[in-house]
Amino acid sequence: MQKTCEICGATFECGRNKKTCSKKCSDELARRKHLAYYHEHKAECDARNKKWREDNKERYREYQHNYNVARWARDKANKVPKPKKVITWSDIYNKADRLTKLSMLSLALTEHNLGTVNYGYLSFIYGTDEYKRLEDKVFKAKEELVVDTST
């Protein structure tokens, strides 16, 4: 005997009491029945659930905890990472004014053991080829280092 599935409408060869074509449709039918029952007996169900929560505080807390953990994990998994905005030392340096550049360069030379060149001397050679050579040294040393401003 052939029947039509109550959920998906597929025709299927059936046994006695089957109303659905597959496990999936059978589960869906059960879900809908439960939902319909809930809507028809809402006050009753809510009261029963409330009582259960009160009688099973520990289990309910555990349930809530698990639910929150699962939701947190799901949200974390779904989160699309923002591209990190990265500012390099060179970016800052290139936008800085002359005095700031001199300080930054002087500090960076010391920091990267590229020689101690004092501020006054840097100021004196500012804009010359020698100054540019020192800049290049620092740019190279700073290349790998970035400042992460995304957090």
Residues in touch with Zn ion (CB under 5 A): 5, 7-8, 10, 21, 25
Residue 3 vs 137, nearer CB to Zn ion: 3
Q: Could you tell me the CA-to-CA distances from 126 to 63, 92, 130, 142 in Å, in that order?
A: 68, 18, 8, 20
The nearest distance, CB 9 to Zn ion, in angstroms, is 7
Rg from Cα positions in the chain: 35
Residues in the chain: 151
The nearest distance, CB 19 to Zn ion, in angstroms, is 9
Residue 11 vs 94, nearer CB to Zn ion: 11
The position carrying tokens 């809908």 is 32
The nearest distance, CB 38 to Zn ion, in angstroms, is 23
